[in-house]
Structure 1
Amino acid sequence: MNTSRSSLKDVAARAGVSTATASKALNGRSDVSEATRRKVHAAAQDLDFVPNELARSIAVRQTGTLGLLTHDLEGRFSLPILMGAEDAAGAGQMSVFLCDSRGDAIREQHHLKALASRRIDGLIVVGGDTDPRKSLGRNLGIPIVYAYAPSTDESDMSVIPDNYQGGRDVTTHLLATGRSKIAHITGVDYYSAAQDRAQGVADVLDAQGLSLVGSKVFFGEWSEQWGRTAAHALVDKHPEVDAIIAGSDMIARGVLDALRERGVDVPGKVAVTGYDNWQPLIAGARPSLTSVDMNFELVGRRAAEKLMGAIAGTVEPGIERLRSTLVQRGSTEIKF
């Protein structure tokens, strides 16, 4: 075994080929025969040759690095998305630079310049919420994939949870448990996710000739207090309600508190569902809360896969919606 630092020239000499041919073989070029490739790789192994990664990246015009720009690193949505993206990037032998703009436009521009200076091969932009965000355009000169929050430009690549289908799935589940007097308590009405989920709920009910209890969605805040207040008002006016779809786990916790305070059995009298499958809230719910998991790690993984595909030349423009998973627990059990 050679303990000195070997060069590409040494590898070429050991293999009996030119330096150019040795370089092509080590970089996986197709214009080298398999026999020559094996001979060069064997020589490189014998010499413990360590290729100059910078020189190789210049040759193939890639650095093997991706950028991840998030707007809310501490948020419960960003971290699992970033974990999924990093898993996929690692599987593709890509390194990752992570930046958090904290929702600040100036900080975002600073991070974009810093990432560009590192000559990243591509960028994943993770939104702070599900509302569409302004496209970064084409000035960076690299592929970009938007995760969680889609780009407003349809020619960009975006990966998001399918909130409409999530609304459909939870409603279908409640109907299957025998519920038919279903109410919907959710967050702010201008939030795209809330609107998409509400449409999914309404479409399933309409197909069954049913409508929401109260004939409307109860829009409010993304808080336990709103869930508690809305549930009290709902039961006062519509004691016949037998299921409540909450737009988030936080709202669902407030709903469960209100029903417990009124002595309403869950799920015997009223079934309750949440959305997000956020473990800190799920863990403390009594009874255990049925909730919709938006599969954030899968969103991140798929975003990274699309990005690496684009780097390789396969661009998939448009919005890709990934189906969520309904996790059934005690709050929607059928009572016999």
Structure 2
Amino acid sequence: MDAARPIASLHRSCFPSAASGPPMRRRVTIDDISRYTGLSRGTVSRAMNDRPDVSERTRARVLEACRALRYVPSRAARSLTTGRSDAVVALVGDLRAPFAVACLRGVLRQADRLRYAVYVTEQGDDPAGAQERIIELTGDRIDGLLVAGQVEGRLCAQLCEAAGQRPLVVCCRAEGVRCDTYLPDHPEAGRLVARCLLSHGRRHLLYLHRLGDAEAAERLAGFRRVCADAGITPTILAAADDTATVEQHVAGLREADGIAASDDRLAIAALWACARLGRTPGVEVLLLGQGNTPACEVLPWPLTSVDFGGEEIGQRAMETLVARINGRRVGAASVTHVAPRLMERATTGAARP
């Protein structure tokens, strides 16, 4: 090699030329978004920063352009402009709980749409550790906090204290904490179950109720109300566990033509008990659960269940949190109950996919 060969020449020889491979993609800028949408650079910037002085229609137009052009924002630059980190903390009670997982999925999807980062921490079996992690995370430049799924009541209070002036949104019952709250409409879930059984002409109804669960009690109240309006008195069996309680009530399982349970675990236990008695689920007896856990779809008789709307709750909670952060939502905190959905499957006679 010629020792006098220029360094620039060495650099060019070490990397492929544009002709030898696909050209590198130029980074898309705000100016590109401005030209694409026909909006001013200032309007595009305000829309990207979720400013309250931009209409929802304009904001949606800019976000669609960002997706079309594959715009990747610089968090560092945006942080310098807005004074925010574009990051929030999400506390989850138990990552094994189906509702909490659905709620967190909704949070993350909405955060991705709004270009926010989410730091996730779990309470699990260590509430004290969760509190320490919350304090550590909120010590950084975090814009807001969110609770996805049920946690210990005192943790919500501690989270509210750690938040300070930053907004907090919860997707669980939080006694004594004043913040925006999103919850499933549990009485309506119970009403949906009762209406489903009655619409199929079932009149000898059995309801398996989970003891010690306040939300299950609300679902039972909704179920009873619809039955009372129809002039029907269902048999209510209280359950402290699953299989053992169900097996103790064989007579009830034989006589009922419609069985509902306050959660999917009890419903699955009833399903197997009916099958052992020779009663075909979805034919001789209809069965419904509540919670729409993943197991519902993989059973030999896919279980009809009520979806509590966890994903929608997470999405709406994250949207509200960002609106509070950006000042687009002001005023007193509110409590919103999200409508559940009935997911009909084989155990109420629906055709299998």
TM-score computed with the length of structure 2 as normaliser = 0.72
Candidates 184, 199, 214, aligned match of 1:161: 184
* Cα distance between partner residues in 1 of 2:108 and 2:252: 49
CA distance in 2, matches of 1:218, 1:288: 24
Deviates more, 1:73-82 or 1:233-242: 233-242
CA-CA distance at 1:146 after TM superposition: 0.8
Q: Is the 1:186–1:217 contact (alpha carbons within 8 Å) kept by the matching residues of 2?
A: yes
* Pairs within 5 Å for 1:130-279: 134-135=156-157, 136-141=159-164, 142-147=166-171, 149-153=172-176, 155-187=178-210, 189-213=211-235, 216-221=236-241, 223=242, 225-226=243-244, 229-230=245-246, 232-236=247-251, 239-279=254-294
1:69 to 79, 82, 91: 91
1:254 CA displacement: 1.1
Change (3 A) 1:304 1:236: same
CA shift at 1:234, angstroms?
A: 3.2
Is the Cα contact below 8 Å between 1:299 and 1:322 reproduced in 2?
Answer: yes
Q: Could you tell me the percent identity over the aligned residues?
A: 25
TM-score (norm 1): 0.75
Instruction: Answer whether contact 2:94 2:100 (CA < 8 A) is retained.
Output: yes
What's the CA shift string for 1:170-209, capped at 9, x where partnerless?
110110000111111132x221221111011011111112
Secondary structure at the residue paired with 1:77? helix
Give the whole-Å Cα distance in 1 for the aligned partners of 2:196 and 2:189: 11
Change (3 A) 1:237 1:329: closer
1:302 paired to 2:316? yes
Contact (CA 8 Å) 1:268, 1:334: kept in 2 or not? no
Q: Residue type of the partner of 1:318?
A: S
The residue aligned with 2:302 is: 288
Instruction: Provide Cα deviations, 1:262-288, integer angstroms capped at 9, x if missing partner.
Output: 112323322111112222x22332322
Aligned amino acid, residue 274 of structure 2: L
Question: SS at the partner of 1:209?
Answer: coil
Q: Which residue of 2 aligns with 1:322?
A: 338
Structure 2 Cα separation of the partners of residues 296 and 244 of structure 1? 24
Out of 141, 146, 150, the residue aligned to residue 119 of structure 1 is 141
Distance in 2 (alpha carbons) for counterparts of 1:170 and 1:130:
29
Indicate conservation of the 8 Å contact 1:130/1:193, yes or no. Answer: no
Q: Quick check: 1:132–1:150 contact (8 Å CA) kept in 2? A: no
- Go from structure 1 to structure 2 and tell me whether the alpha carbon gap of 1:263 and 1:303 turns closer, same or farther (over 3 Å shift): same
- Name the stretch that deviates more: 202-211 or 310-319: 310-319
Q: Which residue of 2 aligns with 1:15?
A: none
Once the two structures are TM-superposed, the CA of residue 25 in structure 1 deviates from its matched residue by 8.6
CA contact (8 A) 2:86 2:115 kept: yes
**Residues 239 and 101 (structure 1), Cα distance of their counterparts in 2 relative to 1, 3 Å cut:** closer
Displacement after TM superposition at 1:320 (Å):
1.2
* Partners of 1:247 and 1:275 within 8 A in 2: yes
Name the amino acid aligned to 2:325: I
Structure 1 unaligned segments of length 5 or more: list them: 1-22, 31-49
Q: Which amino acid aligns with 1:204?
A: V
User: Which letter maps to 1:169?
Assistant: L
> 1:79 aligned to 94, 101, 104, which one?
101
- What is the rounded CA distance, in whole Å, between the counterparts of 1:119 and 1:217 in structure 2? 51
| CA deviation profile, 1:133-173 (whole Å, cap 9, x unmatched) | 743334422111111x2211363111121111111011101
Q: Which residue identity lines up with residue 173 of structure 2 in the other structure?
A: P
Does the 8 Å CA contact 2:92/2:151 hold for their aligned counterparts?
Answer: no
- Which secondary structure state, in structure 2, belongs to the residue aligned with residue 137 of structure 1? helix
> d(CA) in 2 for partners of 1:238 and 1:116?
52
Aligned mates of 1:137, 1:243 — CA distance in 2: 44
Output the aligned Cα RMSD. 3.1
